Amino acid sequence: MSYPTVLEVVADGPAALAGILPGDQLVEINGVTPSDVIEYQQLADEQSIELSLLRDGAQWIIELEKPFGAPLGLRLNASIFDRVQTCDNHCEFCFIYQLPPGMRQSLYLKDDDYRLSFLYGNFTTLTRFTELDLARVVEERLGPLYVSIHTTDPDIRARMLRNPRGATSLRWLRGLLKHDVVVHGQIVLLPEVNGEDVLAKTCAEILFRYQEIASVGIVPLGVSRYTRSTSLVAHTPQTAERDLETVHFWQGIALKELGRRMFYASDELYLIAGQGFPDAEDYDEFPQHENGIGMARTLYGEIDRLLRGTPLDYPVITGEWRSIPAAPSEGYRVRRVVSKQQISRRMGSATVITGEYGARVLAPVLRDLEQLARRPIRIFPVKNRFFGGNIGVAGLLVGADIRDAIAGDPVDTGTYLIPDVALQGDVFLDNMSLAEVSAESTVPVLAVEATAAGLLEGVRS
């Protein structure tokens, strides 16, 4: 157990008025040492609160009164205070095993903690889940949770996770659903392992054994050049098309049986197969938008509404924590920095930097974007040389590749725009900051929100 440290105190909030300062360590609330920010929030909801703090090695006791349920006005440095439940699986397709050495330490942490699943939308395999965990989730209604299913075949799942408990841990999924906990599932598709007939069997068993599950996202395997496995095989257009046929078939069965499609393939799988994206209604309100499922269709719908002048309608992002004020942003949930808008003195085209897949998504709507922006727009796909392999999504672009692409760009431009999904705070995955990327550019390099409205705001600046 380590005590959380206060990072920020909201001005004029209860904590500030009581004299709590950044740097204070929180030991107890009303005599209880919280194990995580969830328990902290429950204790902090009370009206009468006694806080035990450490400040400069001395213990302080602070008592305060506030309305029931009102936040204390603190932001802490951690979400888990006792110990993050690390992952004891050894999945060869895990992207952590496909990272180069020397990146920041937090990128190499494998968690399998249901609390981080609840707070940030991280996927858990449930191999370290216990009866006590289930009791707490049910009692405190900690949902939605996000579960990595991959396959319902016990032997194949155990082999994929390289953990014998993988064969039995889906019993916890049944327990969660039995108690009406909202769960979203994920299948990472390895074409030669859990695709084709195995995928069909998995969809069938999910539909008839776990039909209460809110959604199942189906995403293709990402293979970087750093993988040490010789057995990882990426999708081809043919295998992607085959697996999409399976998904669409079971979507139809689920729609008939449950009134919803349940199974949703990622945008990347459609791009690999060379197929168009489904209509918006086929995504059933986009339950796994942040998992790369329906992002392209959402973007197209946003552009269409902008052209028609109708109100924008964004999907609810269920995987993003937004309910506990004290929780810090962590991992891929770090709040992204969008550049302060600068006025470009060069009124050439605006250049949108994106990944190779992002360029294929934007190409069909380029003319519509130019019409809305009233300015020429150029799409500039940047090859991901850092990760290599089949990595082509904008969210995995790194600073060095973008910097080099800008330096070698022969086209005169007025502004470079980078989607904020590539940033964690103001830093790319390779630890290069946005300022470092733009330092040698003669024109503004801006990070913009990865929506049509955010892109257009950047283009017009």
Q: pLDDT at position 232, please?
A: 86
3-state helix, strand, coil in the chain (%, to 5): 35, 15, 45
Where do the CATH 3.40.50 domains begin and end in the chain?
334-460
Q: Which residue has the higher pLDDT, 332 or 266?
A: 266
CATH 3.20.20 for domain 95-308: yes
Say how many residues make up the chain. Answer: 461
Q: pLDDT at position 213, please?
A: 97
Task: Tell me the percentage of the chain whose pLDDT exceeds 70.
Answer: 91
Stretch 280-309: mean pLDDT, rounded? 93
| Angstrom distances, CA of residue 449 to CA of 346, 419, 422, 455 | 22, 6, 10, 6
Task: Tell me the percentage of the chain whose pLDDT exceeds 90.
Answer: 70
Alpha carbons 263 and 182: distance in angstroms, whole number: 15
Q: pLDDT at position 437, please?
A: 94
Q: State the sign of the Cα–Cα–Cα–Cα dihedral 383, 388, 390, 396.
A: negative
Residue type, 182: V
3-state secondary structure of 315: coil
Tens of pLDDT along 67-90?
998 989 998 988 899 888 888 888
Tens of pLDDT along 221-261?
999 988 877 778 999 999 999 999 999 999 999 999 999 99
Q: How many CA atoms lie within 13 A of 319 on its CB side?
A: 23
Residue type, 137: V
3-state secondary structure of 379: strand
Q: pLDDT at position 325, please?
A: 63
Tens of pLDDT along 431-445?
899 999 999 898 999
Mean residue pLDDT of the chain comes to 90
Q: pLDDT at position 55, please?
A: 94
pLDDT band at 218 (very low <50, low <70, confident <90, very high): very high
Kindly tell me the number of DSSP H helices and DSSP E strands found in the chain. 15, 13
Q: Is the pLDDT reported for residue 292 higher than 50?
A: yes
Tokens 């994106």 correspond to 354
Where do the CATH 3.20.20 domains begin and end in the chain?
95-308
Tokens 């939308």 correspond to 121
pLDDT band at 426 (very low <50, low <70, confident <90, very high): confident
Q: Are 170 and 149 in contact (CB under 8 A)?
A: yes
In 19-162, at which residue ranges do the beta strands (DSSP E only) sit? 25-29, 48-55, 58-65, 74-76, 145-148
Q: Is the pLDDT reported for residue 127 higher than 50?
A: yes
Q: Are 202 and 151 in contact (CB under 8 A)?
A: yes
pTM for the structure as a whole: 0.90
Tens of pLDDT along 138-187?
999 998 999 999 999 999 999 999 999 999 999 999 999 999 999 999 99
Tens of pLDDT along 302-336?
999 999 988 776 665 554 444 566 666 665 455 55
Alpha carbons 151 and 178: distance in angstroms, whole number: 20
Tokens 């602070």 correspond to 62
Where do the CATH 2.30.42.10 domains begin and end in the chain?
6-76
CATH topology of domain 334-460: Rossmann fold (3.40.50)
Comparing 25-29, 99-103, 384-388, which segment has the lowest mean pLDDT?
A: 99-103
Q: pLDDT at position 269, please?
A: 97
Q: pLDDT at position 120, please?
A: 85
Q: pLDDT at position 364, please?
A: 97
For the chain, the farthest-separated pair of C-alpha atoms sits apart, in whole angstroms, at 66
3-state secondary structure of 400: helix
Write the class of the CATH domain 6-76.
Answer: mainly beta
